[in-house]
Amino acid sequence: MSNIAYMDYNATAPIVPGATQAIVDALACIGNPSSVHGMGRKARALMEDARDCVGAFVNVRSDWVFFTSGGTEADALAIKGCGRERILVSSVEHAAVLNASEVVETLDVDANGIVLLDGLEDRLKNDSRPTLVSVMAANNETGVIQPIAEIVEIAHRYDALVHCDAVQAVGKIDFDMQALGCDLISLSAHKMGGPQGVGALVKRPEIKLQAQISGGGQERSLRGGTENLIGIVGFGAAAKEKTNFMRVKALRDDLETQIKGLSDDIIIFGETVDRLPNTSFFALRGLTSERQVMALDLAGVMISSGSACSSGKVKASHVLAAMGVGDEYANSAIRVSLGWDSHKDDIDKFVQAYAKLVERVQQKNSNRSDAA
């Protein structure tokens, strides 16, 4: 891995050492958390310790935390299980939210991808149906942070519930569920240095949900099926880790300073508003996202064009479309996302490889000008 610059933390973060060790230790526990014998009780204790850690991470009691297979399932449980007649979501949400229900209605955003609060209030004021508002804490592509506290205040004024997909935010910025006033939030372990295949829905006790996976009554009858003990233990361990994101932000800012020096045509999306400290989403006209991802991959630099897609293909960003970004830039956008194991060498390796791509575009444009 020494010759590889991994810069795709928003897709999945490398597992932190503490989580790796916790998982290895948990492999020795053979009990089912629902069994009443000694080994079962030991497994249950490991799981409940992890539940405590995840709850503390977002400043809630452990009994607010329900483990799932990941952020997507948590989103689906909140949206499908809430029983609300109308679902309002931002137009820049992750597909896990946008595709969670057939009755989803989208909210407009501004040029930075921030929900238009006046528009939200108008939608709630003019329709009295029971409503769930779902807005992500921070965008997975741009890193732009939403005004969740203000959204909650507006929504609660009209008796709407608020669900927040906090998958990208937790561990990168301070996130206090109680201070923000959210009713439900979704979390995913592998975005914060835990293992893949485990997440959580965190909800206020008074919120009643309909289980989407029925079974043997696990997770207090809200999510059937034997719990993924190994994943849950790793999740809990990752929640105890603290990454110095001021250091990560300095790396991100250094990268942006250097790439802006390569060309005046580079646009950094959301640059003027609050963003996650690890994320940079930018574009240079004249070279498609797919070609950049492949060229950088060959140079040993792992980045993406935005949200990780199950097909593995590079797709146009619906986030940029919602922000009103034209195709010439949207089709050229790439995302760099950093994390706990990022270093200055990664930035240097990226800039060196990216400079060659910029030079290629500039040469092509120069040839066109000469031909004209």
Q: Domain extents for the chain?
A: 5-13+243-371, 17-239
Side chain identity, residue 334: I
Amino acid at 122: D
pLDDT of res. 311: 43
d(CA 101, CA 114): 22
Q: What pTM was computed for the model?
A: 0.94
Residues designated catalytic:
309
User: Could you say which residues of the chain have pLDDT below 70?
Assistant: 1-2, 307-315, 365-372
Count CB neighbours of 178 within 10 A.
12
At residue 22, what are phi and psi to the nearest 5 degrees? -65, -40
* 174-182 contacts, C-beta under 8 A, 24 or more apart: 175/58, 175/137, 176/58, 176/59, 177/58, 177/59, 177/60, 177/64, 177/202, 178/59, 178/60, 179/59, 179/149, 180/148, 180/149, 180/152, 181/149, 181/152, 181/153, 181/156, 182/148, 182/152
pLDDT of residue 325: 97
Yes or no: domain 5-13+243-371 corresponds to CATH 3.20.20.100: no
**The pLDDT of residue 368:** 61
Q: At what angle do helices 344-371 and 289-298 cross, to 10 degrees?
A: 130
The pLDDT value recorded for residue 312 is: 57
- Which region holds residue 197: left if phi is over 0, alpha if psi is between -120 and 50, else beta? left
CATH number of 17-239: 3.40.640.10
pLDDT at residue 310 in the model: 43
